[in-house]
Structure 1
Amino acid sequence: MFLDKINTKSSGLLLYGITPPKSETPPEKVSIIAEKTLARLIDLDIDALIIYDVQDESTRTTEERPFPFLAALDPFDFASQYLSSLQIPKIIYRPAGKFSKEELRQWIGHLKHNSFYPVFVGVPSPDFKPITSLPEAYEIWREFSEESVIGAVTIPERHAVLKDEDQRMLDKMNHGVSFFVSQCVFDLDYAKQMLIDLVKTCESTKRELPTVIFTITACGSKKTLQFMEWLGIHLPVAVKENLLNSENILAESVTLVLQIAKELIDFCKTNQIPFGFNIESVAIRKEEIEASIDIVNQIKVMLQENGVRA
């Protein structure tokens, strides 16, 4: 079970991440999308399903957004109303700062009733004034923490610039966070340096390491690559050139992310870091969705060969 694996610091977790349908989607079309989602996940060997909260981050940067922003359905509503037949834990993202304390308290209560788990994320732009702070949100979660776990997001790119991601993670661990889901990893050096500093910080403070779940995703087009960079995902120059110059960018990206996964497995095993993977599938093209399923299955084999998954 997902809960047990997090509590026992077991490595080898496999998660799958999706976004809900757009909010303007008619209910009958939402049902069709949900049926297709269930069909491709029902036989997939994963420990939990992540449903992201889609936010408009256009004010975060002055650069033009490669794709227009389209609001999506609430992830809790989509999961509880349309995906209930999928008998695996659901992890629901929510920007805590956009809600009052009472709204968060009710929401967390609904999560626990459905055996869902929360991940609180930041507000969409630096100038947004939070209604509820993250520490306040974590304190509300503690009221429901029995038989539950809470996660947070970690960003290696932020650590490359500010050098404090390890401390940010420790602060969240002090509020009860036991697992972290990374932003999509395309720069191994960034990820490894963050992990090295996290290990040092946990050793110096005599804290157990949290479980780190690395998000892996395929890149199906040049436009998608541009969007990843707009989101703040760093692609090393050589990686970017290989993708842009390849005859099949999707196939090349699958090869790339599988190599990244292999190196992360080796690194985490060597440094005794509890770890897992979240394979993200947010594209609508059939080829990219199929690629995400292939990545799940191939990483599962890697984990089994390394003795961290049955």
Structure 2
Amino acid sequence: MFLDKIKSRESGILLYGITPPKVGTAPERIAQIAQKTMARLMPLDIDALIVYDVQDESARTSVERPFPFFQAQDPFEFASQYLQDLKVPKIIYRPAGKFSKDELSDWLEGLHKHAFYPVFVGVPAPDYPVKTSLPEAYRIWSKHQATSVIGAVTIPERHAVLKDEDKRILDKAGCGVSYFISQCVFNLAYAKQVIEDLEHTCKTERATFPTIIFTLTVCGSEKTLDFMEWLGIHVPDDLKQDFRAAESMLEKSVQVCLDIASELTALCAARAIPFGFNIESVAIRTDEIEASIYMVNKIAEMLETNAVRKVTVAQSSVA
């Protein structure tokens, strides 16, 4: 179980991340989307499903957004009402600062009843009025810590600039966070630097190294590449050139992601660092969705071959 694997700091965790349908989608259409999603995911050997909270981050930058923003359904409502037949734990993102302490407490109670797990994220812009700080949100969650786990986000790109991601991670770990899900990794050097600096800080402070889950995603078009960069994901210049020169950008990005996964597996396994991967699928194009499914299976095989992940029984099909 996901809960046990996180609490025991087991490596080889495998997650899959999706976004809910947009607001205004008819209920029958939401049900259809959910059925298709579950049909794709039930055969997969994953430990949990992430359902993201989609925020409008336009205020964060003056650069024009490559894609228009569409408000999405509430991730907890989508997961609890439409994805019940997918018998894996659900991880629900929520920007804690947008809600009062009472609202967060009620939300956490609802999550706990469904055996879902929270990940608190920051607000969409630095000047956004914060109702509840992250440390306060973690304190509210702490009443569930005996039977739950809470995650947080780590951003290698931020560490490349501020050089303090290791301290941010350990500060949150001190608040009860036991695993961290990264922003999408396309700059391998950035991700490795976080691991190396965090390992050094953990040894210096005699702290326990938390589980790090690296997010990987496919890139199937020039516009998707632009959007990833707009989100703050750093794609090295030589890699961008390789993508643009490739006969199929999608196939090239899949191979790059698999190579990154292999490198990070070797790094973490050699250092006995608990780790895993989250395969993100937030595209609507069928070929990109299928490519993400392919990546899950290939990474599961790689982890099993390297004796990092135990083979488990695949999920049954939709009834």
TM-score range, shorter chain: over 0.9
Partner amino acid, structure 2, of 1:212: I
Match of 2:201 in 1: 201
* Cα deviation, residue 208, structure 1: 1.0
How many Å separate the matches in 2 of 1:272 and 1:144?
Answer: 28
Secondary structure at 1:151's aligned position in 2? strand
Partner amino acid, structure 2, of 1:55: Q
Encode CA deviations 1:33-68: one digit per residue, 9 max, x unaligned. 001001001111100000000000000000000000
**Pairing 1:257–2:257 present:** yes
Secondary structure at 1:63's aligned position in 2? coil
How many Å separate the matches in 2 of 1:144 and 1:110?
Answer: 12
Secondary structure at 2:50's aligned position in 1? strand
* Cα deviation, residue 118, structure 1: 0.2
Match of 1:180 in 2: 180
How many Å separate the matches in 2 of 1:240 and 1:24?
Answer: 36
Match of 1:43 in 2: 43
How many Å separate the matches in 1 of 2:4 and 2:143?
Answer: 20
Secondary structure at 2:92's aligned position in 1? strand
Partner amino acid, structure 1, of 2:69: F
Secondary structure at 1:16's aligned position in 2? strand
* Cα deviation, residue 163, structure 1: 0.1
Match of 1:274 in 2: 274
How many Å separate the matches in 2 of 1:156 and 1:271?
Answer: 19
Partner amino acid, structure 2, of 1:272: A
Match of 2:118 in 1: 118
How many Å separate the matches in 2 of 1:160 and 1:24?
Answer: 39
How many Å separate the matches in 2 of 1:24 and 1:195?
Answer: 41
How many Å separate the matches in 2 of 1:140 and 1:147?
Answer: 14
Match of 1:293 in 2: 293
Match of 1:157 in 2: 157
Q: How many residues align?
A: 310
Q: Equivalences for 1:1-310 in 2 at 5 Å?
A: 1-310=1-310
Percentage of matched positions with identical amino acids: 64
How many Å separate the matches in 1 of 2:303 and 2:193?
Answer: 22
Match of 2:315 in 1: none
TM-score of the aligned structures, taking structure 2 as reference length: 0.97
Structure 1 unaligned regions, length at least 5:
none
For the aligned residue pairs, the C-alpha RMSD in angstroms reads 0.5
Partner amino acid, structure 2, of 1:271: R
Partner amino acid, structure 1, of 2:242: N
How many Å separate the matches in 1 of 2:269 and 2:215?
Answer: 17
* Cα deviation, residue 144, structure 1: 1.8
Partner amino acid, structure 1, of 2:124: P
Encode CA deviations 1:149-190: one digit per residue, 9 max, x unaligned. 000000000000000000000000000000000000000100
* Cα deviation, residue 104, structure 1: 0.2
How many Å separate the matches in 1 of 2:13 and 2:142?
Answer: 24
Structure 2 unaligned regions, length at least 5:
311-319
